[in-house]
Structure formats: C-alpha cells, structure tokens
Amino acid sequence: MAKGIWRLTVRSDFAAAHALRNYCGKCENMHGHNFAVEAVVEGQTLTPDTEIVLDFKVLKQELKAVLELLDHKMLNEVPPFDTQNPSSENLARFIYRHLAQRLADHEAANGVRVHAVTVSEKAAQSATYMEM
C-alpha cells in the first residue's frame, strides 16, 4: 500500500527595506517591499485525536515569529544580511531554516517538516527555497 503525505500551506507577509550589493541597477539603492511569504510543510501522519497534520494556528504562529525577525527592519543590518545579500533567494532560505528549527523544537509539530518557502517582492515574481 502506498504511503500518503499531506502538505499544508500558509501565507503571510512582512515589510522591510534592503539594498542589493553588487547589483548594477536601481535595486542597489535602499528601497522597500511588502514581501509575501508562503510556507509549505509536510507530514505523513495525522494526530490521533483531531486527525490533522499540524494545527494551522501553530504553523501561522511559528511563521509569524520568524518574520518578526525581519519585519520593519533594514535587512542589510540584520545578521546574516549584514554580510550576505538580502535577496529574495537568501530571505527564502533564512525563513526556511528558522521555521524548520522552530518546528523541530515544537511539541505539536511531531514529524512535520518544512517542504518549501517562497518569498515574493511582487506578485509576478518569487524565489522558492527547499532542501533535498
């Protein structure tokens, strides 16, 4: 019998400013975005009582806690972006890894892992990070 998997998706956003180092264009100057974030987690088992992978409320709270590290900040001043470019790609990886750690430490997230995080500066373009 095939083993199933469930994926849950939550969306949020944060506002921040950044300047892309070594970018030959306007984005090298400080500018701001309302970044959209989509986090996808996955699990193979449902809780025995409520038959859910993870409470959406828990997932949204943990994502919000990660985004608080970035919200209304000058990203170039927030480690690791004080030395690493605060590109959408690097922001997606940062959020992915911080969310993964928070879920690993959360009792309710039994066996749930982060599948992917997508960061968008505008609706028409995004960067997605996932680990194999």
pLDDT of residue 77: 98
Cis peptide upstream of residue 80 (ω within 30 degrees of 0) = yes
Find out whether 18 is annotated in a ligand binding site.
Answer: yes
Contacts (Cβ under 8 Å, ≥6 apart) of 7 = 40, 41, 42, 115
* C-alpha dist (Å) from residue 63 to 81, 95, 126, 132: 19, 8, 18, 21
Task: Please report whether residue 1 resides in a domain.
Answer: no
pLDDT of residue 108: 79
How many domains does the chain divide into?
Answer: 1
What parts of the chain have a pLDDT lower than 70?
none
Task: Please report whether residue 119 resides in a domain.
Answer: yes
**Which range marks the domain in which residue 34 is found?**
6-129
pLDDT of residue 67: 98
Q: What is the value of pTM for the model shown?
A: 0.95
pLDDT of residue 94: 98
Active-site residues: which are they? 27, 72, 121
- C-alpha torsion sign, points 12, 16, 20, 21: negative
pLDDT of residue 95: 98
pLDDT of residue 82: 97
Find out whether 106 is annotated in a ligand binding site.
Answer: no
